[in-house]
Amino acid sequence: MNRALIFVAKHSIALALSAMFLAPVLFLALTSLMTSNQTFTSDLWPHSWHPENYAEVFSKTPLLKYLGNTAMYAGLATGAMLLSSVPAAYALAKLRWRGRNLMMTLIICMMMLPPQVTTVPVYMLWANGHLTGTLWPLILPMLLGDAFSIFLLRQFLVTIPDEYLDAARIDGCGEWRTLLKVVLPMARPGIAAAAMFQFFYAWNDYYGPLLYTNENADNWTISLALASFRTLHHVEWHLVSAATLITMVPVIVLFFFAQKAFVQGVTLTGVKG
């Protein structure tokens, strides 16, 4: 009886929240099926249905090519971030050395520099290297660590009990082998979360590609392509909505399948149970 009551309560709350959280996607979906003239009016339900808007999106922009660029940017940036940030986070969480707290503080400092001022000196750097017009200024820095990811990874890694590492070290593993053989499998949730955030960030990034690739349409990402449905005095919201949904579908699918990897990782390896 009591259990049934809790079940009902839990699910009614969850359903109510779902309705709330579903609203933006529903709004996009409805808008994407309207005529241009109905968008942004007080009638949120389409007067007539226009699935052909989706075809128009593909005929007006080389969307597949932009999807490819976006996937390349997001994939390479995520890979590069992992290569550089996981070892750094490990050293910050599990190795003892002088200056560790200082470096941790500097990592947080790095996130605190307002992007409005860092972009200018960094842009000059890439312009002098003649790499503007490409996505490399957004990918290459990831090889040098990403502050947010290092911080996130470090916070997850500190929760791994030291004795597992010590056991590996006693078995004669060096620090790198300890990281690869012991820590990586155990830290799967945190690593998956960091990778996912990095991937989604790059996928939706607008200002980065705008700053570096706007003059070269060959290297545009989808977020930039959305801006091409804009004219001097008007935005074609039905097309923007359709394109946004097309953009979101891959990440929603990815999230749906990837979430298991990081929320179940710990319990599966049985480390802590």
Q: Which of residues 124-163 bind another protein (CB under 8 A)?
A: 124-125, 127-128, 132-133, 141, 143-146, 148, 150-152, 155-156, 158-159, 161-163
Shortest approach of another protein to residue 230 CB, angstroms?
A: 5
Part in contact with another protein (CB under 8 A); list of ranges 14-22, 48-56, 69-77: 14-22
Of residues 72 and 103, the one with the C-beta less far from another protein: 103
CA distance 81 to 141: 8
CA distance 184 to 190: 10
CA distance 220 to 96: 44
In the chain, at which residue ranges do the beta strands (DSSP E only) sit?
A: 230-231, 234-235
Among 1, 4, 21, 48, indicate the residue that binds another protein (CB under 8 A). Answer: 21
Among 24, 58, 181, 185, indicate the residue that binds another protein (CB under 8 A). Answer: 24
CA distance 247 to 138: 20
Helix (H) or strand (E) holding 68: helix 63-94
Could you say whether residue 37 binds another protein (CB under 8 A)? yes
Please, which of residues 89-108 interact with another protein by CB under 8 A? Answer: 90-97, 101, 103-108
Taking each helix axis from N to C terminus, what angle separates 63-94 and 188-204, rounded to the nearest 10 degrees? 140
CA-based nearest residue to 200, from 144, 253, 151: 253
Could you say whether residue 8 binds another protein (CB under 8 A)? no
Please, which of residues 201-260 interact with another protein by CB under 8 A? Answer: 204, 206, 210-211, 214-215, 217, 223, 227-235, 237, 240-241, 244, 247-248, 251-252, 255-256, 259-260
Burial (CB count within 10 angstroms: exposed 0-12, middle 13-18, buried 19+), residue 173: middle
CA distance 200 to 221: 13
Please, which of residues 63-82 interact with another protein by CB under 8 A? Answer: none
The number of helix segments (H) and strand segments (E) in the chain equals: 15, 2
Binding residue count for another protein, defined by CB under 8 A: 124
CA-based nearest residue to 137, from 121, 122, 147: 122
Within 8 A by CB and 6+ apart from 112, the residues are: none
Shortest approach of another protein to residue 44 CB, angstroms?
A: 7
Shortest approach of another protein to residue 71 CB, angstroms?
A: 16
Of residues 68 and 174, the one with the C-beta less far from another protein: 174
Q: Which residues make beta-bridge pairs with 231?
A: 234
Part in contact with another protein (CB under 8 A); list of ranges 37-45, 50-58, 66-74: 37-45
Among 13, 16, 55, 184, indicate the residue that binds another protein (CB under 8 A). Answer: 13
Shortest approach of another protein to residue 216 CB, angstroms?
A: 8
Among 123, 134, 136, 246, indicate the residue that binds another protein (CB under 8 A). Answer: 123
